[in-house]
Amino acid sequence: MMENTRIGLNAGKVWRILNEKGELSMFELCRELGLTFEEVAVAIGWLARENKISFREKDNMLFVKIDDVEFSFG
């Protein structure tokens, strides 16, 4: 069983690599980060729950990217 701290750290790793490289498949995330499929899936779930990422499916593969965030002040 994974601890919340570890899941959160992995979510941070996923977010950083997506921010750096753009959209990646689940398998690319596993390879880039050296994490298991389960670790990446749980981290993505964490980020999805916070509405930080979006998904698309292509050729039976799941791709993930960071949602565009607009900031406004005042």
Average pLDDT along the chain, 74 residues, taken 10 residues at a time: 87 95 96 96 94 92 83 46
**The listed CATH number (3.40.50.11600, 1.10.760.10, 3.90.1170.50, 1.10.10.10) that belongs to domain 4-64:** 1.10.10.10
* pTM higher than the cut 0.75: yes
Domain residue extents for the chain: 4-64
Place of tokens 């995330």: 29
